[in-house]
C-alpha cells in the first residue's frame, strides 16, 4: 500500500485525496515509511512465494487449467505486485500475469514500479 500512495493514480489527484488514503490505510496496515524500510525482506518473501506459485500454474491463460474464481482472486494480487520493483518473477507466473492482463485488457503497473 505504501507504493500506491506514492504513485500517480487519478484517485490521488489532490493532496486531500492522497492524505485520506494514507491516513485510512496506515491506521490498519501501519506506518508507510516503516513498511517501506522493510521492503528488502518483504520482496524476498514475495519472490519466494511466487516461486512456490510457479509450480501450481497449470496454464498461462488459467491458473487451474480453465478460468475460475481462482483467476479472479489471483490476477489482481499479481497485478498489484507489479507496482513493486525488484520482485523476481518466475517464468510461469510472469507468463500467467501477462496473459491475464491481455485477456482482461487491464494494464499492469510495471511502468510505475517503485
Look at residue 2 in the predicted model and tell me its pLDDT: 86
Q: In sequence order, what DSSP letters do the residues of the chain get, joined into one string?
A: -HHHHHS--GGGSSHHHHHHHHHHHHHHH--HHHHHHTHHHHHHHHHHHHHHHHTT--BTTBTTSS--HHHHHHHHHHHHHTTSTT----HHHHHHHHHHHHHHT---SGGG--
Q: What is the mean pLDDT of residues 82-94?
A: 97
**pLDDT tens digits for range 21-77:** 999 999 999 999 999 999 999 999 999 999 999 999 999 999 999 999 999 999 999
Of all residues in the chain, the percent with pLDDT exceeding 70 is: 100
Give all domains of the chain, ordered by start, each with its CATH number.
1-37 (no CATH), 40-114 (1.20.1050.10)
| CA dist., res. 42 & res. 47, Å (int) | 9
Average pLDDT of the chain to the nearest whole number? 95
**pLDDT at residue 5, as a whole number:** 87
Amino acid at each position: 500500500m505504501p507504493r500506491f500512495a506514492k504513485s500517480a493514480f487519478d484517485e490521488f489527484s489532490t493532496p486531500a485525496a492522497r492524505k485520506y488514503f494514507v491516513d485510512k490505510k496506515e491506521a490498519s496496515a501501519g506506518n508507510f515509511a516503516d513498511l517501506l524500510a522493510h521492503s528488502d525482506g518483504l520482496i524476498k518473501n514475495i519472490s519466494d512465494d511466487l516461486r512456490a506459485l510457479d509450480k501450481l500454474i497449470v496454464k498461462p491463460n488459467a491458473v487451474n487449467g480453465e478460468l475460475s474464481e481462482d483467476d479472479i482472486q489471483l490476477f489482481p494480487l499479481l497485478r498489484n505486485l507489479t507496482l513493486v520493483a525488484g520482485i523476481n518473477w518466475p517464468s510461469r507466473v510472469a507468463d500467467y500475469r501477462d496473459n491475464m492482463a491481455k485477456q482482461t485488457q487491464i494494464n499492469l503497473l510495471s511502468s510505475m514500479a517503485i
